Every structure is written in structure tokens, then in C-alpha cells.
Homo-oligomer: A and B are copies of this chain.
Amino acid sequence: MIESPRISEAELTHLGIEAFCRLGLPRGDATEVVKILVMADLFGLSTHGMSRLESYGERLQIGGINPNPKITVERVAAAMVKVNGDNGVGPLVGMRSLEAAMEVAAECGIGIALTRGSNHFGPISPYALLAAEQGFASMIGSNATTTIAPWGGTDARLGNSPLGFGVPNPGGNPFLLDMAMSVVARAKIRDAFKQGREIPNTWGTDAKGFPTTDPKAALDGFLLPVGGHKGYGLALMVDIFAGLLSNAAYLTHIQSWQDAPAEPQNLGHFFILLDTKKLGSTQWLAQRMTDFAQILTDSPAADAEHPVIVPGMIELTKMAEQRRLGIKLSEDTLQLLKKHSQLGDA
């Protein structure tokens, strides 16, 4: 097995910006997109990092994504903005939405951006970290292409919509939670199938909507949401706030970027930001966050090799390590980068 190559944050950023510029983005916009994707790779979330250059790039080339969007921010109330991403690259629309929400939240204590006309915006944790670094707690969600059947239903009508949270921890690691609504990712079912293992009957259903322990049947069926009807409810609420209320597409109205890469997806997001500085001093917050983390991590571990951790610790540890040693990138992603940036030897 070949070790993945490592690349420095600066070089990955440089190549990424060149690639998106060549795909038609203004340099400033390319820089914002790459900021989110590089953070994803730093966190170890490589499926949501620079590897997305493949799908983003293809869609930019065939006109499925607009390289030069006129993103508009309409302030419909003191603490509420509606963002129209004009079918721009997702992380660019995401960054503009985050900034708009932080601006009104700084003024009003809490603020929300409701975003339409967007595309896949990367993972949530980079936005949550950027917000936390400026003292904002966040709740962020996006809708997604349909892959989940409604609870008790038999066809895909609901996205595996991600929901995320961030909380600043002045002087320490912020808490970052970024969760999709399925019990496991599809890849885990695929692994079980390859290895000939049964899966727990809580992971997925067969094509008829019945829970199954057969990974092959589950791959033909649908992912099951966490906690059954609870995860179903949570997934649809994320879609309501991210898609329905933002005037974006929702549920089956969302175009699949895989089946119809040339069509705008009209994805929706929401960004709710709380300015924690309005609630107490930095010291007050730091003291409470440190105590909160301590109480949890002090619980004696069931398995000594897996002590209790708080959300975000894995990603932030990985980020520190990869800033030191370089970022692990698959050979495929590196070739893709070199091709699009025309700077490498590929």
C-alpha cells in the first residue's frame, strides 16, 4: 500500500486557488472557496475537501455552477438576512452567508442567514470554527440530494442533511459538531459488503424499505436515520430551515449533482450565529467551557484505549498535526489539482 503524499497548507492553498481561477473564478472568490476546502483537508475530512475539485470542476466546466455569481444579501429584518448565491460555488456562497450572519449577530446578539441558490458547501466544521474564533456560537445546516426514505416509506425523498454546531472556548479548543442524519455513511455499508460481513439492521433498509442485515440489499435500499423516526424528524427539520424557509429547493425538488451536473441545484443553508460576548466576559466563557469539557472527559472510560472526548477534538488534533507534518492528500486529488492548476508535472 502506497502512503498518501503530504503537501503543505500553503502549497495546497496555492494550487487550489490557481485551479479555481483557471475554472473561471475571480481570485478573491477562489481564495474563499479554497479556504474552506483546505480546512476540510486539515481536519482530515478528505471526502469534503479538495477532492471535491472533481465535481465542482466538472460542473463549472459544463455550466452547472456559475463561476461569476452576483451573490446578493437582503436584510429583511435587523437580525435576518436572505442570501441568494446565484448558483455560485458552494463554499463561496457559504462564506458570504456566514459573514452576513456574523455581521447582524454582532449587532443584535443573534443573527440568521437563510441561503438559496447554492451548491454543496463543504463540511460544516470550517464555518463553525471560523465563527468560534470570532466569539460566535453557531448552528448551521444544509439540505442535500435525496438519499433517505421518509420513516416507513420506500423511496428516497429526504437528504442526509448535515447539521452542525460550534461553540467558542477562549484560550482552548472550541467545540465543533458536524453530523449527518444517517447512522453510518454509505461507504461503511460498502466496506461490509466487500468483506462479506452482515450489518446491524439499524444501518439501512432494502429497496422495499425494510431494515436489513444484508449489506448488498442495503446498498440497493436507503440509509436509515439516527434514532429511526427521531433522525427522520431531525433531517426534515434541517431541510425546512435550510431549504423551505430560505426559498431554496427542498426534498425531491433538489437536483442531483451526479445525475444532472449541468443543472443548478438550488441548495439551501441556514447559519444561526450567537454573539457570546453579549452573554458574559471571555473569562466567564472560558471557565465554563473548561469545566464542561472536564466533567465529560473525567468520566472513566469503558475502554481505556478510548477515553471520553468532546466534539471537535479529533478534527482539531488532526489539524495541528497536519499543519506540522503536511496534509495527507490522495494521489488522485493531487493529480486533479495539478491538472486544473496546470502548475504541476501532470
Provided the pairs A245-B137, A276-B245 are in contact, do residues A155 and B300 lie with their beta carbons within 8 angstroms?
yes
- Whose C-beta in chain B lies nearest to the C-beta of A183? B227
Decide if B80 touches A292 in the complex (CB within 8 Å): no
Decide if B226 touches A274 in the complex (CB within 8 Å): no
A147 to chain B, nearest CB (A): 13
Q: Is A231 part of the contact surface with B, judged by Cβ < 8 Å?
A: yes
Q: Is A91 part of the contact surface with B, judged by Cβ < 8 Å?
A: no
Write out, one digit per residue, whether chain A residues 67-104 have a CB within 8 A of any chain B CB (1) or not (0).
Answer: 00000000011111010000000000000000000000
Query: Which residue from B177, B209, B237, B292 sits with its C-beta under 8 Å from A302?
Result: B209
Question: CA–CA, A116 to B244, complex, Å?
Answer: 32
A211 to chain B, nearest CB (A): 9
A213 to chain B, nearest CB (A): 12
A232 to chain B, nearest CB (A): 8
Decide if B137 touches A108 in the complex (CB within 8 Å): no
- Mark the stretch among A4-12, A19-27, A304-312, A324-332 that contacts chain B: A304-312
Number of chain copies forming the complex: 2
Provided the pairs A78-B79, A158-B296, A237-B165 are in contact, do residues A152 and B302 lie with their beta carbons within 8 angstroms?
yes
Decide if A77 touches B299 in the complex (CB within 8 Å): no
Question: CA–CA, A112 to B109, complex, Å?
Answer: 9
- Mark the stretch among A30-38, A39-47, A246-254 that contacts chain B: A246-254
Query: Which residue from B77, B240, B303 sits with its C-beta under 8 Å from A278?
Result: B77
Question: CA–CA, A297 to B110, complex, Å?
Answer: 34
A256 to chain B, nearest CB (A): 15
Q: Is A210 part of the contact surface with B, judged by Cβ < 8 Å?
A: yes
Interface bin, chain A: 35 or more
Question: CA–CA, A137 to B250, complex, Å?
Answer: 17
Question: CA–CA, A114 to B276, complex, Å?
Answer: 11
Write out, one digit per residue, whether chain A residues 141-167 have a CB within 8 A of any chain B CB (1) or not (0).
Answer: 000000001111111011000000101
Q: Is A261 part of the contact surface with B, judged by Cβ < 8 Å?
A: no
Decide if A152 touches B301 in the complex (CB within 8 Å): yes
List 6 tightest A-B contacts by C-beta distance, closest first.
A80-B109, A77-B109, A226-B227, A153-B299, A209-B302, A79-B108
A-B contact pairs, 23 of them (CB 8 A): A76-B278, A77-B107, A78-B109, A79-B79, A79-B110, A80-B279, A109-B112, A110-B111, A137-B240, A152-B308, A153-B301, A153-B302, A167-B237, A167-B240, A175-B240, A179-B230, A200-B202, A233-B311, A236-B296, A241-B274, A244-B289, A250-B288, A251-B296
What is A's interface to B at a CB cutoff of 8 Å?
A: 76-80, 82, 107-112, 114, 137, 139, 149-155, 157-158, 165, 167, 175, 177, 179, 183, 200, 202, 205, 208-210, 226-227, 230-231, 233-234, 236-237, 239-241, 244-247, 250-252, 272, 274-276, 278-280, 288-289, 292, 295-297, 299-303, 306-311
